[in-house]
Amino acid sequence: MKVAFLGTGLMGLPMAQRLLAANVELIAYNRTPEKLAPLQAAGAEIATKPRQAIRSADCIVLMLSNAAAIYHVLLTDTSWHTLSGRSVIQMGTLTPPESQEIRDAVVAAGGEYIEAPVLGSIPEAETGKLIVMVGGEQEQYQRHLKLLQIFGTDPVYIGPVGSASSLTLALNQLIASLTTSFALSLAFVQMQGIDVDLFMRILRDSKLYAPTFDQNLKRMLDGNYTKANLPTKQLIKEIDLFITEAKSLGLNLSSIEGVRQILQSAMSMSYPEDDYSSVFPAIREWGEASGE
């Protein structure tokens, strides 16, 4: 089987490299051609047009930034007509309606579609330890399982198309909310003169602890948010998708809307490409300024 990988950004590049390491025949396309250089050096075929990659492959893996990018790359007139008889595996973050609409377009072209969004960041993508959540038919899940296991050892079947997208949005909401809550407590403890090591020791021994706290602690204490595992601008995009979908359900969104404001402040204070743990200075420096 030959795989076309469309979208080789921060997450897409290490995922595509995993395919090459597993001796999967690969053709890759990215709208920014410079990002394809590491794959070309590792033996991947490079496509200059999306339709070239699609036409050459049996299976198309999408790791594109949003639904608009998928329409632009996969569902233009020239690309759409090449989908017949091919499998499309969509691995980015979308709302359930977006994923279902793209499925309908792929099926109308004579192809098949499953969603397989992932939980994890660059280190997990590099080591093949992403949590892969699959939406589609059970038979499709079984047929594509071996390929999906290259990205994560135990892909989980969730349900029909849309269900995996929903679960991913719920988990991304937790990423933002947990990190912002931890940053607030850490800033509070520091400004009260309490030893951070003591705070962390008690936290780690409690049922409140989540491993993501330690993953972000060093960045927050060092103030180093470069070489992002998850850029702030990407997390805001995913939170916006969650808010859009949750609003249609009539949920109270006060908490996540507050988190989004803090993320936006972090992005305004630093670079959008910085790690999302930069919510810490957005919280702490606001507190210092308001206390003057």
pLDDT in tens, 152-204: 999 999 999 999 999 999 999 999 999 999 999 999 999 999 999 999 999 99
223-249 mean pLDDT: 96
Interval 105-138: pLDDT, tens: 999 999 999 999 999 999 999 999 999 999 999 9
The fold of the 2-160 domain, in CATH, is: Rossmann fold (3.40.50)
What are the extents of the domains in the chain?
2-160, 165-290
Residue 289 has pLDDT above 90, yes or no: no
| In the block, residue with structure tokens 């080789």 | 8
Q: Could you give the CA distance from residue 192 to residue 242 in angstroms, rounded to a whole number?
A: 34
Q: What pLDDT was estimated at residue 286?
A: 76
The rounded mean pLDDT for the chain is 95
pLDDT-based confidence at 224, cuts 50/70/90?
very high
All residues at 6 or more sequence positions from 131 whose CB lies less than 8 Å from its CB, including other chains: 118, 119, 120, 124, 152, 154, 156
**258 contacts: CB under 8 Å, gap ≥ 6:** none
In the chain, the amino acid numbered 223 is G
pTM above 0.75, yes or no: yes
Predicted pLDDT of residue 287:
58
Position 3 pLDDT exceeds 60: yes
pLDDT digits (tens, 9 = 90+) for 179-189: 999 999 999 99
Is 60 exceeded by the pLDDT of residue 288?
no
State percent of the chain over pLDDT 90. Answer: 94
Domain over 165-290 is classified CATH 1.10.1040.10 = yes
Mean pLDDT across 66-86: 94
Cα(37)–Cα(17) distance, integer angstroms: 12
Above 50 in pLDDT, residue 206?
yes
Q: Mean pLDDT across the stretch 135-149?
A: 98
| pLDDT(214) > 90 | yes
Evaluate if residue 264 carries a pLDDT over 80: yes
Q: How far is 288 from 259, CA to CA, in rounded Å?
A: 19
pLDDT at 10 over 90: yes
pLDDT band at 292 (very low <50, low <70, confident <90, very high): very low
pLDDT of res. 13: 97
Q: Find out whether 239 and 173 touch, Cβ atoms under 8 Å.
A: yes
